[in-house]
């Protein structure tokens, strides 16, 4: 299994580290446009191999796509992150050009690749890759919901004062402060609905904290987060590499599912060796349906800014 990560910045390097530590890939190539950056990060990470006990070979390259040839999975993290006070949508002008160019270069050297899109605004960047590459729809996956759900579980465990491994929950919808739909109704603590432990008011606070999870970190860090994003992407890469058939909320191209068409937005999906193998349609109540519809309108508005 060969994995390419485009962008040797905060998220790309974190993702490379988690993929290497989990030790399921034979080779990881990190590519960046900035001279020497990917080579340096790759060398630094390789020097952790004997310390962390992995055999994955990590290589770095400055924009030489021939090094990425025959990748099974490619992760696109290239582009600019937001600064405090910015929305993800404000990044579209710069990131759309980068994502379009990067995906075309990747496919030239790896025609059978599965692409995981991370760069923001992620749902719109995923849509762009669908519209411009001609890859089959199962081979393009947007990563946002896996991260947002991890943040939701963190906030739930905080409110419940219990280990995160005791809670389960999912965030669907657009990967934006206003578009996320944390499914509090379906969240559980050891199979018991969380509403048995938390008031509606407390659950609303969990939802709101989840939705601004990225913005909260951006304010603290001065730039966007990287550990949880990197870990979330590595989970998707592993599910493909090991054909795990694991379910993650992912940004998928919808053709009628959830009553939505011609956009990419976060919905539960089964991830395995063929990429996004199946969109799972869950029964939503009227409130959740209205929230998803509103979220989709927001994503479509941002998609409208693309020059396709
Ligand atoms: P960063 O600035 O640390 O790294 C981005 C890297 O991309 C830089 O090293 C830059 O040199 C490189 N780059 C720029 N243009 C390139 C090109 N044409 N080819 C190759 N490399 C190029 O940014 P960070 O924090 O790693 O974030 C990356 C992206 O991921 C941002 O758009 C950010 O908003 C997004 N993000 C998405 C998340 C999600 O859940 N989908 C979570 C966190 C970040």
Within a domain: 308: no
Verify that 86 and 170 share a domain, yes or no. no
Task: CATH number of the domain at 176, please.
Answer: 3.90.110.10
Asked if the model's pLDDT at residue 38 lies above 90, the reply is: yes
pLDDT tens sequence across 176-209 = 999 999 999 999 999 999 999 999 999 999 999 9
What value does the mean pLDDT of the chain take?
A: 97
Verify that 220 and 252 share a domain, yes or no. yes
Asked if the model's pLDDT at residue 79 lies above 90, the reply is: yes
Verify that 42 and 191 share a domain, yes or no. no
Q: Is the overall model pTM greater than 0.95, yes or no?
A: yes
Work out the average pLDDT over 276-304.
98
Give residue 11 CA to ligand 1 midpoint distance, Å. Answer: 7
User: What order do you get walking across the sheet with 188-189 strand by strand?
Assistant: 167-168, 188-189, 192-193
The CA distance from 103 to 82, in Å, is 21
Do residues 44 and 76 make contact, with C-beta atoms less than 8 angstroms apart? no
Residue of 79, 45, 59, 62 lying closest to 3 (CA atoms): 59
pLDDT value of position 82 = 87
ipTM rounded to 2 decimals: 0.99
Which residue range forms the structural domain that includes residue 149?
145-303
Question: Would you say the C-alpha torsion 279, 285, 286, 291 has a positive or negative sign?
Answer: negative
| Ligand 1 contact via 83 beta carbon (within 6 Å) | no
Task: Indicate which atom in ligand 1 lies nearest the CA of residue 144.
Answer: 40
| Ligand 1 contact via 61 beta carbon (within 6 Å) | no
Query: Which residues contact residue 283 at a Cβ distance below 8 angstroms, ignoring those fewer than 6 apart?
Result: none
Do residues 243 and 273 make contact, with C-beta atoms less than 8 angstroms apart? yes
Give residue 140 CA to ligand 1 midpoint distance, Å. Answer: 18
pLDDT value of position 210 = 98
pLDDT tens sequence across 166-177 = 999 999 999 999
Verify that 133 and 153 share a domain, yes or no. no
Q: How many CB atoms lie within 10 A of CB 164?
A: 14
Number of domains in the chain: 2
pLDDT value of position 308 = 86
pLDDT value of position 273 = 98
| Ligand 1 contact via 32 beta carbon (within 6 Å) | yes
Phi, psi of 161 (to 5 degrees): 55, 55
């Amino acid at each position: 299994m060969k994995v390419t990560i485009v962008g040797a910045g905060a998220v790309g390097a974190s993702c490379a580290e988690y993929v290497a530590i989990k030790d399921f890939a034979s080779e990881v190539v990190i590519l960046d446009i900035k001279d020497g950056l990917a080579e340096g990060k790759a060398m630094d990470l390789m020097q952790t191999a004997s310390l962390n006990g992995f055999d994955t070979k990590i290589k770095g390259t400055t924009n030489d796509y021939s090094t990425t040839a025959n990748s099974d999975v490619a992760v696109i993290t290239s582009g600019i992150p937001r600064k405090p006070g910015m929305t993800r949508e404000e990044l579209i002008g710069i990131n759309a050009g980068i994502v379009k160019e990067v995906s075309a270069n990747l496919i030239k050297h790896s025609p059978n690749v599965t692409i995981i899109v991370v760069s923001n605004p992620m749902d719109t960047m995923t849509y762009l890759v669908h519209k411009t590459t001609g890859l089959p729809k199962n081979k393009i996956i947007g990563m946002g919901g896996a991260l947002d759900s991890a943040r939701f579980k963190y906030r739930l465990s905080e409110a419940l004062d219990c280990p995160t491994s005791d809670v389960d929950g999912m965030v669907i919808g657009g990967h934006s402060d206003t578009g996320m739909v944390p499914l509090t109704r379906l969240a559980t603590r050891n199979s018991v609905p969380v509403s048995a432990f938390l008031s509606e008011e407390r659950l609303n606070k969990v939802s709101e904290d989840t939705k601004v999870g990225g913005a909260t970190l951006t304010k603290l860090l001065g730039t966007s987060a990287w550990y949880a994003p990197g870990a979330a992407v590595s989970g998707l890469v592993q599910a493909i590499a090991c054909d795990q058939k694991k379910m993650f909320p992912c940004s998928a191209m919808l053709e009628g599912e959830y009553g939505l068409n011609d956009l990419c937005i976060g919905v539960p999906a089964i991830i395995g060796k063929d990429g996004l193998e199946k969109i799972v349609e869950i029964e939503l109540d009227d409130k959740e349906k209205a929230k998803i519809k509103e979220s989709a309108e927001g994503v479509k508005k941002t998609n409208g800014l693309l020059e396709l």
